[in-house]
């Protein structure tokens, strides 16, 4: 029989847990590099940075869904804690886009 992780920390070491957070942080880094390089300007056509950001943010949705389906039935409290961290990382990557109007 499968052994469930004992804590949220050990659950967060699973790839389906940390990959969405890493993808959000990479999306935030792409955004910050773009802002540092070109400034905060509204462009008529989206550049490669915007497309990379979109792919990273949309690409984590199936990973998060898999994470919830796999771990929530056995460890609901730990799963929701890690899910909250994933949501927080996603909001950190979305906030500059929203507030700067990019």
DSSP letters along 60-91, please? HHHHHHHHHHHHTTT-HHHHHHHHHHHHHHHH
The predicted-structure confidence for 59-78, as pLDDT tens digits, reads as follows: 999 999 999 999 999 888 99
* pTM, to two decimals: 0.86
The predicted-structure confidence for 1-46, as pLDDT tens digits, reads as follows: 455 666 777 888 899 999 999 999 999 999 999 989 988 877 777 7
The token pair at 44 is 């008529």
Inform me whether the pLDDT recorded for 87 exceeds 80: yes
Nearest to 14 by CA among 94, 77, 83: 83
Domain boundaries, the chain: 17-39+47-100
């Amino acid at each position: 029989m499968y052994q469930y992780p004992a804590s949220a920390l050990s659950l967060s070491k699973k790839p389906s847990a940390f990959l969405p957070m890493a993808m959000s942080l990479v999306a935030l880094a792409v955004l910050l590099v773009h802002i540092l390089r070109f400034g905060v300007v509204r462009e008529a056509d989206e550049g490669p940075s915007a497309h990379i950001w979109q792919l990273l943010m949309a690409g984590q949705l199936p990973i998060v869904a898999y994470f919830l389906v796999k771990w929530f039935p056995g460890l609901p409290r730990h799963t929701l804690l890690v899910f909250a961290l994933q949501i927080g990382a996603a909001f950190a990557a979305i906030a500059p886009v929203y507030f700067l109007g990019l």
